[in-house]
Structure 1
Amino acid sequence: MLNWHPAMLRAVLSATAIVALALPNQTPAQVGTPSVIRFEDITARSGVDFFTDSSPTPNKNQPETMVSGVGLIDYDNDGYLDIFFINGAAIPSLKKESPKYYNRLFHNN
Structure 2
Amino acid sequence: MDRIGDKWSVLVIVELASGPRRFRELQRAVEGISQRMLTLTVRRLERDGLITRTVLAAVPPQVTYDLTDRGASLTHLVKQLADWSLAHKDAIGDSREDYDRANPGNEIR
Q: Which TM class, normalised by the smaller chain length?
A: under 0.3
After TM superposition, the score normalised by the length of structure 2 is 0.19
Q: TM-score, normalised by structure 1?
A: 0.19
**Bigger radius of gyration among the two:** 1
Q: Which has the higher contact order (CA 8 A, sep 6+)?
A: 2
- Give 1 or 2: higher helix fraction: 2
